[in-house]
Amino acid sequence: MPLAPRSRTSSGRFCFPLSMTMMRRDRFFLVFTLAAVFSADLYFILLPKLQRMGQRSVRPCSCSPDNVTLPQHGGVATPQLSNWTSAQQRDGTGSEHVVTGSKLENLFSHPLYSIQTPELAPEERLLATGQLMEYYKKKVARWERHMKLYSEAAAVSNITVSEHKVTYDPDASWLKFHLGINRYALYSRDDPVIPQLLREMQSMTVISADYTQDEKALKGECDCTQGRSLIKCLMFAALRGVNTSVASSSTHTVISYNAPEQFQKLFSRGELLRSQLKKQRTTSSSHMFFSSHPSALVVKPSGHHLKLALKMETYAKAMFKPMRQQRHEETPEDFFYFIDFQRHNAEIAAFHLDRILDFRRVPPVAGRVVNLTGEVLQVTHNEDLRSVFFTSPANNTCFFSKCLYVCKTEYAVCGNPDLLEGSLSAYLPSLSIAPRTSIPNPWIRSYTFTGREEWEVNPFFCDTVKQMYPYNSGNRLLNIIDMSIFDFLISNMDRHHYEVFSKFGEEGFPLHLDNARGFGKHSKDEISILSPLSQCCIIKSSTLLRLQLLSRPGYRLSDVMRESLEKDALQPILTEPHLLALDRRLQKVLRAVQRCIRRLGKDRVVTEDFVQSTEGPQVATGLAKVR
């Protein structure tokens, strides 16, 4: 735009036109106005906000207008959550407030860990008080009669036995733990009974030691030289027209078979196994796994790991798994996941992680040093268990599993000289009053040396699972994905089955049992464990929010795990590389969720909690009741 011509006045000065003068005045006015507005905004809005941020407590603000909230359902409280779940902070890279004090306490005081479940109806509790107390009294009376007869027989034989009386205590912590089990979790978040039970398991007097029930059943069916349980299995298969052969080694037993396709399907789905269970009423099948691939069936060597059932003075029961590996040792590269050692520290760490993730599906586990002579050998009434104790050349007390496929002293565990550390897992209520149902994991692995399951080769496998009962409605599939995230974090590849309480049916949650094969390798992340999440691309809203919270520096997963594990008597439970591996794996879980969200959208991936279940065809469950 050309400048307007200037004119010279009588004094010789140049004079600008009036329009040019007004334009300059408007510019100055605009600049002054903007500066005033910015100053007012800075003084009255931005500065007060910065001051409030500096004075704000550790807990995030719960009044943001763009909060993320959990889905509503009946009486479920839905606390307003701050916008820490924004895209910038999901990976923990956003702004972070300084967290002081205990990170674990701050985590459990976070609104995400204060969500209330609906008020429980009587049918939503696993056990009634009267029912459990009556069962307890009968067990105590039976124990007293048994001990009286045992003492009389010992006196006749001139044998000295240790006498331990059972104390009937209706306020025992293990009873309160059993009474607190409901359809949502094994215990409530703020239940004071759990810390009490953990402390008592570390010091309660052991009055009896025995093999666990599953090992008893397996032992009763096998013979170290004949392998009668295998023969029974082969006889049953032969009746159905399956040609079989057996090959054994020191670490495993392989059954090869050549069966028609329909029988291979029976093997792969476990139908043959369940049919055998119904006839024999034995749990020995928990150590056998069938594959549809025409190669082999691997029978897991239960003698490769030892476990004992210890009974305490208040009639509490706990499963003892002794230390088999040092904490710094990793699973050998040549080991298959189904013959890996069972680690006692993995059981302990899995309980703490399950609690931190707020699943609460692992029974309480505590570490303890057990005196093999005074707390096992001298209190057991099982002669078979007595017979497997021996003294090593180093003068240490040792014991091994007598007849669980591996009948050798090479697999023994030894004290130092009598003391041996291990994990104590609190028993769940007896199957006679709280039966459980064992269900094959849809993402079960091939328990063969070369075979692969359908989910390993079919990326759309989840579409098939979604059509199957009970995964086509309710929370079951979401709970399976929770379980896969849990297993990925602990690196557990051995989740072949899961159990639910029969009373709750399809509404029940899967129990996260038998986690001793976790934490085997801190240097490797087995991404295939996350297949349920990556293939189904759904996750609970509450699960995702907690995972995002644990990825933040103020609540870092490795830090809260380290602090939680310090309370155990055997600490340190995990080495530092294993703790850091938790953070690395957590980021991989969050990235898997983000990939799903980018592909399908958040509404299709992040799913509401407490989904109401619909009635399904009971005949299609394919469930096997644990007896």
Active site residue ranges = 494
315 appears as a binding residue in the annotation: no
Element (H, E) at 344: helix 344-356
Q: Are 510 and 443 in contact (CB under 8 A)?
A: no
DSSP state of 68: B
End-to-end alpha-carbon separation of the chain, Å? 95
H helices of 382-471, in order, are 383-387, 454-457, 461-465
Residue at 617: amino acid letter: P
Decide the pairing of beta strands 297-299 and 253-258: antiparallel
Round to whole Å and give the CA distance between 532 and 555: 26
Q: Which of 425, 611, 445, 622 is nearest to 511 (CA)?
A: 425
Bridge partner residues of 423 (DSSP): 321, 367
Bridge partner residues of 265 (DSSP): none
Q: Which of 371, 375, 355, 341 is nearest to 567 (CA)?
A: 355
Q: Are 85 and 542 in contact (CB under 8 A)?
A: no
Bridge partner residues of 440 (DSSP): 497
Q: How far is CA 237 from the centre of its chain?
A: 35
Round to whole Å and give the CA distance between 267 and 182: 34
499 appears as a binding residue in the annotation: yes
576 appears as a binding residue in the annotation: no
- 3-state SS of 205-240 is CEEEEEECHHHHHHHHHCCCCCCHHHHHHHHHHHHC
139 appears as a binding residue in the annotation: no
Which positions ≥6 away from 448 have C-beta within 8 Å?
291, 293, 295, 296, 297, 298
514 appears as a binding residue in the annotation: yes
Residue at 520: amino acid letter: G
Round to whole Å and give the CA distance between 43 and 506: 59
User: Which residues fall in the annotated binding site?
Assistant: 321, 425-428, 499, 514
User: Which residues fall in the annotated binding site for ATP?
Assistant: 321, 425-428, 499, 514
User: Which residues fall in the annotated binding site for Mn(2+)?
Assistant: 514
